[in-house]
Structure 1
Amino acid sequence: MTINIICETTPGFSFHYKKLAESVIEHSLDTEGFPYEAEVNLTLVDEERIHEINLDMRQIDAPTDVLSFPMIAYEYPADFDGVDDQLDDCVNPDTGEVLLGDIVICVPRVYQQAEEYGHSVKREYAFLITHSMLHLMGYDHMVPEEAELMEAHQRKILDTMGITR
């Protein structure tokens, strides 16, 4: 597995954010049963940069906490049966790993939301990565039923890692 972590801003976290990211990404893939070796890109940015990306990619003129850009289209969440048909378009030729997608996290929002929700910065950071990993594996939260399913999987991943509120 390859995890590329790019820091466009200084995170200032009191924990080893690279190790935590690697652990959360790996645990998310294992929990969901992703059947391939994967490559994931994680970029840490400030509010100005995530605002630019959100406007460019989603035409939303506002900053946000996290963005996920999956490389694979799924018929159903974590239904990896159709991935074989897409491998030509999403395999890194140098490593043979499936390019799962990109995650962009707004560092100031990690701090703000941790305070707002009354939990640690570490928990918020891990939550945003977990949330994005599920998006990269086909989960969404646009309708209540999808949101319930995604939230249950988020809780399971974080709880089994011992990262709780």
Structure 2
Amino acid sequence: MTILFENETREEFDFSYEEVLTQVVNEAVSYEKCPYVCEVNITLTDNQGIRTINQEFRGLDIPTDVLSFPMVDYEMAGDFSHLDTLEAQNMYFNLESGELLLGDIVISVERAKEQAKEYGHSLKREMAFLTAHSMLHLMGYDHMEEDERIVMEKKQEEILQNLGITRD
């Protein structure tokens, strides 16, 4: 598993964010029974940085907490069976490492801090939650419909519980 981190902030953390987010990424991949070694990029930014990205890619001129940019097109969320073809291998895999390119995650640490305070839990828990949420998006899940939202929320919570990352 390759996880590439880019920290555009000057935030001080009271935990090793690379260690925690790596655990969440690994647990999400394991939880979804992804049969491939994966590559994920995680960028930490601030509200202005994520606002700019949100405007550029989604046409929304507002900051948000997390953005997910999946590289894989899924026929069904969490179903990796279509990736066995040569065409899929050429489209979705790093040709040098052989790793499945799941996609990119962008987290506003500034917004994560605000939400951690608002929800009464730690920044560690909030960033772990946002990463679990985003990883599910990278594996084809969404929450536009009520039934999708319920599935995603259950999976997010189970991933975090498996790691012992609970609401403080």
Q: What is the TM-score of this pair, normalised by structure 1? A: 0.97
Q: Find the counterpart in structure 1 of residue 75 from structure 2.
A: 75
Q: Find the counterpart in structure 1 of residue 164 from structure 2.
A: 162
Q: Find the counterpart in structure 2 of residue 87 from structure 1.
A: 89
Q: Find the counterpart in structure 1 of residue 55 from structure 2.
A: 55
Q: Distance in 2 between matches of 1:11 and 1:90?
A: 33
**CA shift digits 1:64-105 (9 cap, x unpaired):** 000000000112210111223422112112211111100000
Q: Find the counterpart in structure 2 of residue 43 from structure 1.
A: 43
Q: Distance in 2 between matches of 1:109 and 1:87?
A: 36
Cα RMSD (Å) of the superposition?
0.9
Q: Which amino acid aligns with 1:67?
A: L
Structure 2 residue 21 is matched with structure 1 residue 21? yes
Structure 2: unaligned runs, 5 residues or longer: none
Q: Which amino acid aligns with 1:43?
A: T
Q: Which amino acid aligns with 1:31?
A: Y
Match of 2:153 among 143, 151, 154: 151
Q: How many equivalent residue pairs?
A: 165
Task: Please tell me whether the aligned partners of residues 71 and 101 of structure 1 are also in contact (alpha carbons under 8 angstroms).
Answer: yes
Q: What is the TM-score of this pair, normalised by structure 2? A: 0.95
Q: Distance in 2 between matches of 1:106 and 1:11?
A: 11
Structure 2 residue 130 is matched with structure 1 residue 125? no
- Displaced runs of 4+ in structure 1, greater than 6 A? none
Match of 1:115 among 114, 117, 122: 117
User: SS where residue 95 of structure 1 aligns?
Assistant: coil
User: SS where residue 39 of structure 2 aligns?
Assistant: strand
Q: Distance in 2 between matches of 1:160 and 1:23?
A: 10
Structure 1: unaligned runs, 5 residues or longer: none
Q: Distance in 1 between matches of 2:139 and 2:82?
A: 12
The share of aligned pairs that are identical, in percent, is 51
